[in-house]
Every structure is written in C-alpha cells, then in structure tokens.
Amino acid sequence: MTPLQKKGGFTLIEILLALLVITIGVVAITGVLGSSLDATAKTHSDLDAVCFADLVLNYCQAADFDAIPTSGSLSLPDHEQSDVSLSLGAVAQFPGRLPRSTITFGGQAQEYTVTYRLDIVADGNVKAVTLQVWPGFSANGTSRTFYTELYNWDRL
C-alpha cells in the first residue's frame, strides 16, 4: 500500500461526534417523556374530579327539590346504580369507579378516590350546591370547585 492511498472508515473524532449527537437526542426525548407522563397523571386526576362532580350535580339537578337535604348526608346512586351516602358540610372521601362506558384499562373499570366537601344551602325556593373536589386521599393542594343552583319551580 502506498502512502497516498486512504483507507475507508471513520476516525475516532467522527465517532465521538456522532455519539454526542445521539446522546443529546436521547436526553431531549427523555425530558419530553417525563413532562408527558406528568400531564397524563394530571389529566387522570381532572377526570376523576369531573366524573365525581358529574355524578353528584346531575343527581341534584334531577332529584325532587324537597329530596335534597341541607344537612346530614345525601344518598344517591353511583355510576353502577349502587346507593352511596355523601356527607354534607365536612371533608370526606369517595372511592368510586368510572362508568363502564368510559376508558377502561385491561378490560376493567378504572377505580379512583377523591376527597370532597359538599355544601347545600337553602334560601327560600333556591338551594345552592357547592362541591369542592381534591383528587386522591387528602384535601391538600388546590381543589376544583363546582357550583349549581336548584330551583323549586312549583313554588316560584
């Protein structure tokens, strides 16, 4: 072989630069993956809160005005038509299941737990329903607040 002939191949510097570019790409993808997982967890928490609020507030809207108590507890059917009792005026927990028609994992309905405070205040022919919901087992952090008013149309 003569000194003027070059062998084909990559130099050590070229290989190191290629590895550097690949490493930067992998680190960037890992960072995006972490924030994506955080967003997914927050979305599940929001879904739990909204699903519970839907259960409670839709029942209050559909029930007879006089059947909605302002103290004690509120008894209503859950998504699987089992009767549940919700405390009024105190922070409590509700273990529930998403309805079968929603997204399931592994063929099973997803279970969730929310912490809530349900207040119902009567003022004549109007009942104000305020529902605060925290995802999970504690009332720490920011709650989601839901509000509706119930009217006694028979007496208005």
The string of pLDDT tens digits covering residues 35-88 is 888 888 888 888 889 989 999 999 999 999 999 999 999 998 877 778 889 999
- With CA atoms as reference, report the closest residue to 131 among 64, 80, 65, 58: 58
User: Is the pLDDT higher at 102 or at 66?
Assistant: 66
Average pLDDT, the chain: 86
Whether 43 and 135 have beta carbons less than 8 Å apart is answered as no
Residue 96 makes CB contacts below 8 A (sequence gap 6+) with 51, 52, 55, 78, 79, 111, 112, 113, 114
CB atoms within 10 A of CB 90: 11
Torsion of CA 86, 56, 139, 35, to 10 degrees: 150
pLDDT score recorded for residue 141:
86
Domain parsing of the chain, residue ranges? 12-151
- With CA atoms as reference, report the closest residue to 120 among 59, 47, 36: 59
Whether 78 and 55 have beta carbons less than 8 Å apart is answered as yes
The pLDDT tens digits for 135-151 are 888 888 889 999 999 99
pLDDT score recorded for residue 4:
64
